[in-house]
Amino acid sequence: MLDAEITNSGKIIALIIANIAAALIGIIAVGGIYFKKHRNPVAGAAIGFVAGLAGNLVVVTGVGLPLLLLLPANNVAQGTPLAGPATDQLSLEIKREKRYLHLQRQAVAFLFLLPAITLFLLFAWHPVMNAFVLSFQDVQLKGGSGWVGLENYERMLADPNFEAAWLNSLAFAGWSLTMGFLPPVFIAIMVNEMRVGKPFFRLIYFLPTLIPGVVTMAIWTRIFSADGATGGVLNSLLFDLGILQPGDNMVSWLRNENLVKPSLIGMMTWGGFGGALLIYYASLQGISHELYEAAEIDGANPFQRLRFVTLPQLRSTMMILLILQVLGIIQIFMEPFLMTQGGPGNATTTPVLEIYRVGFGGSAEFGLASAWSVVLMIVLFTFSVFYFYVTRITETEEG
């Protein structure tokens, strides 16, 4: 009896604390809205929306869940035997009481999750929904907006840069898989087979990953340069090897439509090569030596051990890194923005670069930029679902 009174007292205290918190948030929000509406109507409206969303969460979670704590659990939930024959009604009551008991146990967990859920809704979910709404509006930089329906999507599809941006993403993905996907696998295998010097080579391959992206691009801009008497490092090397003669035109690595994509991918591969190599190297450490010993007993040569033992054991890691690499390629922005500005022509423009141009360029068309963002979000969501599907299959196979 005493335990029951203590439990009920704790539940009542939780209810009181939740309602006090809700009241404090409400008072602060109302004061902020009143102040902002007199100083800045736009900010006032924004704070009003956020306060309304937060208020609903607080009311539902802060009041509803403590009330669930106060729900009495009858003898069925407490495990007291019941007399009489088992009936459908009895089964229904048992299920209902078990559900109530489960909710009571989870209520405190939900209360602790409330701050994280609120932050997620405000800073992750709300911007996504806001971008979706803005994609159907003509938003002006100086304020005000008008509903235009699908006009932004029609303009986006009619823009030549739309097709170019996505085709460039596919081309970047193809070059990336050629230059940056398989080489780390085989180099990791070679490093793993070394008798001495493994730490040295792991460090050498990983060092470029530690260099900031802006510094990396400054270095490679100098390497690709076609200015001056002998150009950058690559052109100087071509002169030294006799491939280029004095008076010949230097190779414009970043101004030639046929060379600019592999040049950028080469730079990005150099910067991210070490991270992928270390992941593969770590996966190789998890392969049982007994598998290799069994293969040797069966007479397998090194190539057969690679084909039938090593690569199958790396399959899950390779698949996950492949999907992550494609997701990263679709979202590239900094490299083409800083090194080529999407040129020559639109040879290196990307969806994210177009979103920046449309939304933050001279026209500042936020509605059109939001339409671009919605399409990009759908593509990334599709790949993300596939990624989670692959990881689940991988966990099932390993389990």
Give the tens place of pLDDT for each residue, 264-310.
998 988 888 888 999 999 999 989 989 999 999 999 998 999 999 99
Q: Are residues 104 and 181 in the same domain?
A: no
For the cut 70, the answer to whether the pLDDT of residue 321 exceeds it is yes
Please tell me the least confidently modeled range out of 74-83, 120-129, 227-236: 74-83
pLDDT category at 140 given cuts 50, 70, 90 is confident
pLDDT category at 253 given cuts 50, 70, 90 is very high
Please check whether residue 65 lies inside any domain of the structure: yes
Report how far residue 347's alpha carbon sits from residue 341's, in angstroms, rounded to the nearest whole number: 10
Please check whether residue 144 lies inside any domain of the structure: no
Going by C-alpha positions, the residue among 109, 28, 97, 25 that lies closest to residue 65 is 109
SS3 of 246, please? coil
How confident is the model over 302-326, as a mean pLDDT? Answer: 89
Q: Are residues 86 and 200 in the same domain?
A: no
Going by C-alpha positions, the residue among 208, 224, 182 that lies closest to residue 348 is 224
Q: Are residues 169 and 108 in the same domain?
A: no
In angstroms, how far is the first alpha carbon of the chain from the final one?
46
Secondary structure of 302-330 in the HEC alphabet? HHHHHHHHHHHHHHHHHHHHHHHHHHHHH
Q: Are residues 246 and 373 in the same domain?
A: yes
Question: What angle (nearest 5°) sits at the alpha carbon of residue 34, between those of residues 28 and 36?
Answer: 100
Predicted local confidence at residue 124, as pLDDT: 84
Domain span at residue 388 reads: 154-398
For the cut 70, the answer to whether the pLDDT of residue 8 exceeds it is no
Predicted local confidence at residue 72, as pLDDT: 47
pLDDT category at 247 given cuts 50, 70, 90 is confident
Please check whether residue 197 lies inside any domain of the structure: yes
The residue among 67, 102, 134 that closes a domain is 134
Q: Are residues 113 and 56 in the same domain?
A: yes
Please tell me the least confidently modeled range out of 59-73, 144-158, 308-322, 339-353: 59-73
Residue 184 preceded by cis peptide, ω within 30: no
Please check whether residue 275 lies inside any domain of the structure: yes
Q: Are residues 329 and 199 in the same domain?
A: yes
pLDDT category at 392 given cuts 50, 70, 90 is confident
Q: Are residues 261 and 195 in the same domain?
A: yes
For the cut 60, the answer to whether the pLDDT of residue 111 exceeds it is yes
pLDDT category at 349 given cuts 50, 70, 90 is very high
| 8 A C-beta contact, residue 284 and residue 311 | no
Please tell me the least confidently modeled range out of 39-48, 63-72, 160-169: 63-72
SS3 of 138, please? strand
Please check whether residue 149 lies inside any domain of the structure: no
Beta bridge partners of 138: 146
Please check whether residue 147 lies inside any domain of the structure: no
Q: Are residues 94 and 209 in the same domain?
A: no
pLDDT category at 145 given cuts 50, 70, 90 is confident
pLDDT category at 15 given cuts 50, 70, 90 is low
Please check whether residue 94 lies inside any domain of the structure: yes
**Residue 326 CB partners (closer than 8 Å, separation 6+):** 173, 176, 383
CATH number reported for the structural domain that contains residue 298 in this entry: 1.10.3720.10
- Which long-range contacts link 224-229 to residues 24+ away (Cβ below 8 Å)? 224/253, 224/254, 224/263, 226/250, 226/251, 226/252, 226/253, 226/254, 226/255
The residue among 101, 134, 167 that closes a domain is 134
Q: Which residue has the higher pLDDT, 355 or 127?
A: 355
Give φ, ψ of 40 to 5 degrees. -150, 100
How confident is the model over 132-147, as a mean pLDDT? Answer: 81
Q: Are residues 115 and 185 in the same domain?
A: no
Q: Are residues 298 and 380 in the same domain?
A: yes
Predicted local confidence at residue 10, as pLDDT: 53
Q: Are residues 207 and 354 in the same domain?
A: yes
Q: What are the structure tokens assigned to 141, written together?
A: 């930089």
How confident is the model over 328-335, as a mean pLDDT? Answer: 91
How confident is the model over 318-324, as a mean pLDDT? Answer: 88
Q: How many domains does the chain have?
A: 2
For the cut 90, the answer to whether the pLDDT of residue 71 exceeds it is no
Q: Are residues 362 and 231 in the same domain?
A: yes
**Residue 379 CB partners (closer than 8 Å, separation 6+):** 330
Predicted local confidence at residue 280, as pLDDT: 93
